[in-house]
Amino acid sequence: MCKNCNDPSAKHKGKVKVRFVRRGQGFTAGEGDIFRAQAGSTVLAKNGSTGVFLNGSTGTAYEGSTFTAEAGSVVHAKYGSIGRARKGSTIIANYGSHIEDEAGAKIIRRADEEEHAVAGSLVSSYAELSAMERSLVDHAWAISKTAYCRYSNFPVGAAILAENEAGEKRIFDGHNIENASYGGTVCAERVAAFDAVKNGFRKFLIVAVVCAKCPGGSPCGFCRQVLREFGLNATVLNIFNTESTVVRWTVDQLLPDSFGPDSL
* Least distance in angstroms from the C-beta of 189 to ligand THU: 6
* Least distance in angstroms from the C-beta of 190 to ligand THU: 8
Beta strands 34-37 and 50-53: pairing type? parallel
Q: Which residue pairs, CB below 8 angstroms and at least 24 apart, start in 110-119? A: 112/240, 112/245, 115/79, 116/247, 119/253
Beta strands 203-210 and 235-239: pairing type? parallel
Which member of 115, 128, 189, 229 is catalytic?
189
Residues making contact with ligand THU (CB under 6 A): 149, 152, 154, 156, 176, 178, 185, 187-189, 219-220, 223
Q: Are 258 and 225 in contact (CB under 8 A)?
A: yes
First-residue to last-residue Cα distance in the chain: 69
Cα 196 vs. chain centroid, distance in angstroms? 28
Q: Which of 191, 244, 239 is nearest to 218 (CA)?
A: 239
* Least distance in angstroms from the C-beta of 166 to ligand THU: 30
Distance CA 219, CA 190 (A): 10
Q: Active site includes 189?
A: yes
* Least distance in angstroms from the C-beta of 206 to ligand THU: 16
Active site residues: 189
